[in-house]
Amino acid sequence: MSRHPEAVLRLFSQALSLQGRFQAMESRFWNKMEFVTERTLSDLWKNCDDIELSAMGIFAATVNEFANGDVTRRPWGAILDARSLLEVLQIGLVNVSYLLMRGSKADVDQTPMTRAFAYLILCAIDVLPAENVARLIDDSIYRGKKDEMPEHVRVFLLMPIADRLLSEMQDICSSDCRRLMALDRQTLTEDKDELESYWLRLESTEVEDETDEGPKRHPRIERLDAPCVVGFPVDKDHGCPLFALQPTTNNVEELLATIKRVAAFRKAQAAQKRAGAATKQ
């Protein structure tokens, strides 16, 4: 049984040590594309100081949070130093083709995986220059053979992640924008409102824990005489760059630079709101 930790976790999860449960969670994800319960994620998070963490394990935990947990309560990417964070992101990106094909073969919803990639990239550009993160993405996915790789393969590997990250920033930034009003959200959920708690996923401070369709159109209205609260230069001839930008396999650095500027402003704004609310209590 010890040679098959994923089977042990299913049958005797409570009998395993915390280290064993972490390793079994890692194995279940990478070998079976299976996810653990939120209780398991909560136990691992509360005791992560006592666990020997691995890059593959933290990547697996992050995907699991988007599948069955809550990354705002357990922000795995935010507790890492820059070097460890890049190691986790790189291990995922190097294996992105394996993960996508394995998930497709197992008929597993790809959303938790693309959300995990988007989250880890957001964590990375929060602490590092956008050009450095863009270079890591290119090097990890293409491995020096970008020009030799067919465009449709590059699109398959990168665009779901880039589209997800951009769509989340569009939802966040348009939620209180005076210039641009989106008539519906593209990615962030309505029932479990992620707008209020979104930026907690970048905070290492512990939060109290508790236990193939076609492209859609998302109408929006833009006031051409209103300023941009983030500070982008806009006027009647120059619209919001966050919505004007169309991700491609060749503009990753431009995409990340734009998102980094939005994220820095919105993260600081959210922290200020939380501090204001705390002083009123």
Query: How many other C-beta atoms are found inside a 10 Å radius of the C-beta of residue 275?
Result: 9
pLDDT digits (tens, 9 = 90+) for 173-183: 887 777 666 54
pLDDT digits (tens, 9 = 90+) for 215-236: 444 455 677 788 888 999 988 8
CB burial readout 209-237, b (16+ within 10 A) else e: eeeeeeeeebebebeeeeebebebebeee
What is the CB neighbour count within 10 angstroms for residue 26? 23
* Best CA proximity match to 159, nearest among 64, 67, 251: 251
Indicate the pTM of the whole model.
0.83
